[in-house]
Amino acid sequence: MAQSLLKETSIKLYFQNGVKENGDPQLISKTFNLVKATAAPDQIIQAADSIESIVKYPVHSVTKHESYDITR
């Protein structure tokens, strides 16, 4: 039976740095690695808020990414 082993967890913050001609937000992103796998959503948002306070652009959205090794 195949098994999965969590290898890495990261978060990606999308910052709004303007507005496109069609009115959609123009976004840039930054990935932060070495996130604790046990980090709760509230903790991730708290980290995003802290980062937002020291950067030029507001946070538009946050995603959490998990990478797994799959073995047989």
Mean pLDDT of all residues in 11-23: 97
Number of domains in the chain: 1
pTM comes to: 0.86
Q: Give the sign of the dihedral formed by CA 35, CA 41, CA 47, CA 49.
A: positive
Domain hosting 7: range is 3-71
Mean pLDDT of all residues in 18-35: 97
Let me know: does 28 contact 57? Beta carbons within 8 Å: yes
34: left (phi over 0), alpha (psi -120 to 50) or beta: left
**Per-residue pLDDT at 38:** 94
